[in-house]
Chains A and B, each alone.
Chain A
């Protein structure tokens, strides 16, 4: 039973099926099997947060889930945020506040922030900083990220 098995997930609203060994991580399944390379991998031990996606509507580390565990789940990734050519409001705010440089942490930041804002209303700056501590950024020094999330939280759709 270490053999590959079929895994079907609904990714960004679309049913996708692929084969996975039981040991294959969800991050690798998304990236390698389904070709969704927007989700990044920075540590594979749960700390950097770059791999964060939404599993059934809540943020989770895709490097700490097996692909077989996601069978039947709804997965949302950074690729599903924009509406056609129009960036999601949080994506626009990231650009406005210079919340990205190399862009490697960005998908994890976006997915984490969206979950955080939904999870906890009326976020203070300290709560944003603590909530966004779930994802590491080595480039920006976080200021733009905190500002973007704060602006989104204060006026954004929930």
Chain B
């Protein structure tokens, strides 16, 4: 297909390897797996938000035709520990700098004595078909004693509230506080101060493929094979080995094709452990395919914060002090700990220089579905606060929002810039590269300029039409550790085989890592085999979360390749009777520089390097061409973006129509610009969904009101506006390729950008949109004279 270009593959929009099978319908997702003798699992899930389990009786369920096995949470709790080892730990550099109190509740794999949210599983049934399994679940006789449901997070933290986890004794399970400078003094001295309350609603990753797990146990070898629709196969294996008391090498976890994840499949769920356990326990393969209703009830939700923020500034719009205290409604458990909450704090300052800052957080448990990272992971909440405040400062002073932002932005001359707070990896936050003001200016230019817009806006208002311009800027720590692994080998056929811990969920990893590897080896891309999301190909891996895979896996592949290349050159030098220094890799061969006819193919080198009688490797060198590296990034590298959007609101309906949306995005060097563009645009549309359509809603009893796709509204092609993405490419000095992460970025800004634009459109009415999502009815209400 593609000859190796002299300039290499990196930086080119190489077509995706993944496409063909997916277009043909030949992809294989968990729900497509058929295992001989397989049974189908279905879970019994709580219909109450909070209740004591009085009894669970399977007699009628097991009488249903096709029912094979049933198990309750209490019995399972005796067999398997709670999910415990998943909490992201607090590194020392963080723990020393951030005041914290964290007592996160353990989560049993299924509810054993109490259910804590609608959708929590308390029993599981296996049967001949999913139909029969659902019949049996319906026939379970379970009795519950309802408890008061804790739904409002502020009430949850107040004295006298019903306690969700009595062992902990409080619903405020974590508290964090971090400060730089002297925020109280600076605030008191500031010429202007504004305080606002901001609410970011609950919404969710909502991949089009729900979750699913299938498992097969082999009694002869006492080993398990597990297929999970997950972003973290190695993490699943680690937890499974611990929970089942098995050696990791006896467990193989694979993610086949995965139909999207966006963080929602980025941690270990109870079902990842229960299904393999069942396969071993009943001696038949088990498949569980989550349905959409289950997914909305039970897969992690995200966001859901209340912020009380105050900002102090001078007459020129310079920010002097910034303080934000916020509550995170974590739902009934906190599968990924306080990491998301701190992410919010760490991103509050964004691209701005502020001397005095404080962030205080309470993570509160309630009787709702657990909250976990989703694309953006705490950043959209932070950016909502900061970017709304920028507009409010501008409004207070009668300045243009762009001007206030530019006044406070960190210029390129200050890079690298030390923020003065630790990142969650414990390392002091340092913005490594970029030109924030240029990015904002570019976004404004792309949208047509502020002045031209104001003219249009005035003219439209005179005609009774309401247009608004919204801006939004952010910085984003990407490529976070702790590590990623890669194994690289040259096999007997001369192909380069790489495996890494990244788990693709649609990004095009097979293509991207083939590009990276082909360039490292100077081989045609067809000669690269990429193996992903399979624990049997790599001893230790981490997974695809937090905009990290291109950064971390590429670095690990590069490092492992260097090790193998050194061996290849040594062997080739022996074969060619040349000095290693005179050799180069070229076009799948090792050749003497300047003498192309003196060369050996990688296949010949592989044969020579093999162990045994025919080996021709240099004396004393190790056999084989294979190496594994674990890349441990020094810290995160900072991507950033500036956004601008124009909206029109309809006075008679309040409907918000996004006319245009621009994002200027900088993720360093782009390995595959076409795929990068797709990542950013896909993220932007998720952000627009969050701004205007998607919301998870509960009533006062903790009943989920949005349990279907008829009520949880993903945007369609018709709601999606024209989107332009401009890529700036400022390389990072932190890794050899100069790449930054970009998986999440798009989703971060749209909610606040649209909030700013709608507020701008309604300026004549003096209404601020500080609560998300933006509801048409609230927009419509703005047109009515206040009562």
Contact = CB atoms under 8 A, between A and B. Distances in A.
Touching chains A and B, CB distance < 8 Å? yes
A53 to B, nearest CB: 11
Given A103-B257, A141-B684, A40 B262 contact: no
A100 B717 CA distance: 14
B674 interface: yes
B206 A47 contact: no
Q: Bin the interface of chain A by size.
A: 35 or more
Interface string B709-739: 1100010111110010000000000000000
Given A37-B28, A87-B23, A47 B209 contact: no
Given A37-B32, A77-B25, A78-B25, A100 B19 contact: yes
Interface stretch (B1-9, B319-327, B356-364, B504-512): B504-512
Interface in A104-151: 104-107, 110, 128-130, 132-146
Interface string B494-509: 0000000000011110
A79 interface: yes
| Among A45, A79, A130, residue most surrounded by chain B Cβ atoms (within 10 Å) | A45
B258 A102 contact: yes
Interface in B24-75: 24-29, 31-32, 34
B692 interface: no
A14 B32 CA distance: 21
B131 A24 contact: yes
B286 to A, nearest CB: 16
Given A47-B709, A48-B208, A138 B262 contact: yes
| Among A44, A82, A134, A142, residue most surrounded by chain B Cβ atoms (within 10 Å) | A142
A21 B130 CA distance: 13
A136 B713 CA distance: 10
Contacts of B207: 102, 104, 138
A154 interface: no
A102 B719 CA distance: 21
B753 interface: no
B232 interface: no
A39 B25 contact: yes
Nearest to B708: A45
Contacts of A140: 678, 681-682
A103 B506 contact: yes
B18 interface: yes
Contacts of B209: 40, 42, 102, 104
B165 interface: no
Contact of B292 (A40, A45, A142, A143): A45
Chain A binding surface, main DSSP class? loop
B208 A45 contact: no
B685 A141 contact: yes
Nearest to B296: A43
B465 to A, nearest CB: 20
A6 interface: no
B20 A87 contact: yes
Contacts of B505: 102
Contact of B291 (A44, A50, A91, A138): A44
A100 B23 contact: yes
B131 A104 contact: no
Contact of B717 (A40, A106, A132): A132
Interface in B675-700: 675, 677-678, 681-686
A145 B202 CA distance: 28
B189 interface: no
B23 A106 contact: yes
B481 interface: no
A139 B207 CA distance: 8
B682 to A, nearest CB: 5
A69 interface: no
B775 interface: no
Interface string A5-43: 000000000000000010110000001100111111111
B22 A141 contact: no
B718 A103 contact: no
Contacts of A32: 34, 129
B723 A143 contact: yes
Nearest to B675: A98
A44 B16 CA distance: 30
Contacts of B262: 138
B412 interface: no
A62 B122 CA distance: 32
B380 interface: no
B717 A138 contact: no
A23 B21 CA distance: 31
B420 interface: no
Contacts of A102: 22, 207-209, 257-260, 505-506
Interface in A52-83: 77-79, 81-82
A133 B717 CA distance: 5
Given A50-B208, A77-B25, A103-B259, A45 B716 contact: no
Interface in B486-530: 505-508
A139 B19 contact: no
B764 interface: no
A47 to B, nearest CB: 4
Nearest to A94: B23
A89 to B, nearest CB: 11
Given A94-B19, A138-B260, A82 B24 contact: yes
Nearest to B681: A141
Contacts of B29: 37, 40, 104
B532 to A, nearest CB: 14
A7 B684 CA distance: 45
A132 B716 CA distance: 8
A101 B506 contact: yes
Nearest to B132: A21
A23 to B, nearest CB: 7
B740 to A, nearest CB: 20
Contacts of A45: 292, 708-710
B649 to A, nearest CB: 20
Contacts of B210: 42
B15 interface: yes
Nearest to B507: A101
A137 B26 CA distance: 19
Given A98-B678, A106-B22, 5 more contacts: A37-B29, A103-B19, A134-B716, A141-B682, A143-B720
22 contacts: A23-B131, A36-B25, A37-B25, A37-B31, A45-B709, A94-B23, A95-B23, A98-B674, A98-B678, A102-B505, A103-B19, A103-B506, A104-B29, A107-B25, A110-B23, A129-B718, A129-B720, A138-B262, A139-B506, A142-B720, A143-B681, A144-B678
Interface of B: 15-16, 18-29, 31-32, 34, 129, 131, 206-210, 257-260, 262, 291-292, 505-508, 674-675, 677-678, 681-686, 708-710, 714, 716-720, 723
Which 3 A-B pairs have CB atoms at the shortest separation, nearest pair first?
A38-B25, A103-B22, A102-B506
